[in-house]
Structure 1
């Protein structure tokens, strides 16, 4: 069964889709990356709906959701409230949460409100500390050709991160640390560019991946991870922006968590190694539902 529609949240309406093949497992709510991206690339997760309902939605301001112009909406507290509104509207009294990248930032912030009914959290390629993420990207940059490093540094210093040379340098970075596939899936290449909202990204993160200037600059919940007591799975790609070292560090701070590395992937293992990704997620969720 497939269903889609809109849900009223603070600031407008968000678009959601629900996949349900009549599985009786606890529903899975997916929080996409960004901020300012969409759930488009996470469509592969609908395969998990054989055992449980799977809900994906585009956060406010991006994808197929409303595009309000009020810049005060782009802060993590409002996005946390949005997750609660989506759960309430879809009657998700008990839920598993899978966050990817910025979606893990949101998942952690939401879980730390001590809300009830979260049966587990999957932190996929996590960003749980903006300062740590920034440090890791600076280290990742050092693995690239010197001219690429210099271009990125120069464009950041000159405020020309919207230039073609910066875009070209970022593409090299992406081939190493975001998606290492030589040939991307055709459906992924068809993602409408208007689904992204650069304004949200700039306000919350900044004009560049490598230096956090937005309102998430000081986000760091590492000291609070011990307060997350539901089962957790931390995963990342071997070549991920969310480095295996930092992802394992987060996992070690979280009681009873498990940790998995996708050996052939960067930041998009759900596409780069989709079969293994789905298998690992399904095993984790099914084991929890059986308890």
Structure 2
């Protein structure tokens, strides 16, 4: 397979990739979250797996070091799934593990159930978005568990559709500190992200919405739970104890895939790799080793 870093042409522009590690294990391809985030934010943590296998990072179109077109017709789940095939062909990835985190889980499930790809050793769904209605239900549960003053502030400005009110932004930070990254919020910048273009809010708002718990974009009806059972490869579901992708919901997804495994990372939020790096990476390592055995 190809090593180093470079660009691959996809529909709408070029996407950037980087391959780290020279281990002889089956490569791992990582699909980052967002939409509109970037791969550098998890590079330090996932690179810990590079001692035993190549780890492939890439920025989705519109994100990170990849091209940033403004044509909204490009922001389709199916087109993001197609990026995986372009990468596999360009890098010679005949066999690989694939991990999708958060929104990356939506891209991964789309790839698995619509393309029925060959050569995928396993699919790892890390705190995945597999159903927007389920995600919104989880969000309502978690918001209702907030202190009354914070909860009422969120409800007030959501009703007004005023998502930039200072009080609303403070309240959303309270949610994020409880469920996105319990180790530190806002999280410290990753050194690997120095010089990398930041979060693409335009893609995020168009596809998702103004906050993690308010879906108003094109993903509002996204739901692949009725097709999860079609995935025949080994599957791992993993989430954090305090994750906005609630363990109860991820457990339900796990039950829909008879041959799957479930791991819940203690004392971690949505950013499990940052909150509990050692535990999270150990879970991934053991799962992929078990698949290869």
Q: TM-score, normalised by structure 2?
A: 0.94
1:124-135 matches, within 5 Å, as 124-135=126-137
The alignment status of 1:283 with 2:286, answered yes or no, reads: yes
Q: Output one character per residue of 1:184-236: Cα deviation in whole Å (capped at 9) or x when no partner.
A: 77443885694211111111112232232211111111111110010011010
CA-CA distance at 1:157 after TM superposition: 2.1
Q: 1:70, 1:253 → 2: CA distance?
A: 36
CA-CA distance at 1:181 after TM superposition: 1.1
Give aligned pairs, total: 289
CA-CA distance at 1:143 after TM superposition: 1.3
Q: 2:192, 2:119 → 1: CA distance?
A: 36
Determine if contact 1:156/1:208 at 8 Å carries over to the other structure: no
Q: 1:51, 1:111 → 2: CA distance?
A: 25
Aligned residue for 1:246? 249
Q: 2:60, 2:291 → 1: CA distance?
A: 27
Q: 1:15, 1:271 → 2: CA distance?
A: 23
Aligned residue for 1:12? 13
After alignment, is 105-114 or 150-159 more displaced? 150-159
Aligned residue for 1:203? 206
CA-CA distance at 1:159 after TM superposition: 2.2
1:15-30 matches, within 5 Å, as 15-20=16-21, 22-30=22-30
Q: 1:95, 1:2 → 2: CA distance?
A: 15
What is the alpha-carbon root mean square deviation over aligned residues? 1.8
CA-CA distance at 1:163 after TM superposition: 2.8
Decide whether aligned partners of structure 1 residues 36 and 184 sit closer, same or farther in structure 2, where only a CA change above 3 A counts: closer
Unaligned 5+ segments in structure 2 are none
- 2:63 match: secondary structure: coil
Decide whether aligned partners of structure 1 residues 118 and 2 sit closer, same or farther in structure 2, where only a CA change above 3 A counts: closer
Aligned residue for 2:220? 217
1:264-279 matches, within 5 Å, as 264-279=267-282
- 2:251 match: secondary structure: helix
**Dislocated runs of 4+, deviation >4 Å:** 182-187, 189-194
After alignment, is 1-10 or 241-250 more displaced? 1-10
- 1:96 match: secondary structure: strand
Determine if contact 1:15/1:58 at 8 Å carries over to the other structure: yes
